[in-house]
Amino acid sequence: MSNDKLHVSEVVKLISKEVKGLWRKILFYVKSWFRDLLYEPIYIEELHKFLEKWRKEVLPELAYTKETFDCDDFGAYFKAWLTKESGKNCVGEALGVVHVPDVGDVAHEWNIVLARFPMGEVEVVHVEPQVGQAFITHTYDGWKYSLIWVLF
């Protein structure tokens, strides 16, 4: 086994730290689906380069269409695209609740990426595929993301 790859048990442990609250943790363990035995993180610098390409070349060709091509479709598309482009199974679909200012809590899908940082540590990076933005802090542009379960 390569040192660069993580066993699914390590990935579950790492991602489960992103889930807050007892009931959400239970849902995470019951509903999440991990489809591989080993996962290969992407270097954070590489992720940023792919996000730049996503914003410049892919997003202009995609249009949000309510119920037809909405958040879950953006999430699935980004997962497939990044996996193919990078050659790494480092990305999953994240499902949960987002608090949107002036709207409230809404069900939402975004992506999470296993990213390797310069000192070698692997962290979970959240990506909002509809704008091509990466973040670690569970918030972006006033939106607060609460992870419940993943398809990885």
> What are the domain boundaries of the chain?
6-151
- 147 pLDDT band, cuts 50/70/90, is very high
To 5 degrees, how large is the angle CA 2–CA 126–CA 59?
105
Q: Pairing mode, if any, of strands 139-140 and 91-100? A: unpaired
Q: Of the given ranges (11-20, 70-79, 91-100, 133-142), which has the lowest mean pLDDT? A: 133-142
Residue 58 DSSP SS3 = helix
pLDDT digits (tens, 9 = 90+) for 6-58: 999 999 999 999 999 999 999 999 999 999 999 999 999 999 999 999 999 99
pLDDT digits (tens, 9 = 90+) for 90-113: 999 999 999 999 999 999 999 999
- Nearby residues of 123 by Cβ (< 8 Å), 6 or more positions away: 14, 114, 115, 117, 136
- State the Cα–Cα distance between residues 119 and 99, nearest whole angstrom: 33
pLDDT for residue 99: 95
Output the pTM of the full model. Answer: 0.94
pLDDT for residue 1: 43
Model confidence at 2: pLDDT above 70: no
Q: Which CATH number fits domain 6-151: 3.40.50.10440, 3.30.460.70, 3.40.190.10, 3.40.630.40?
A: 3.30.460.70
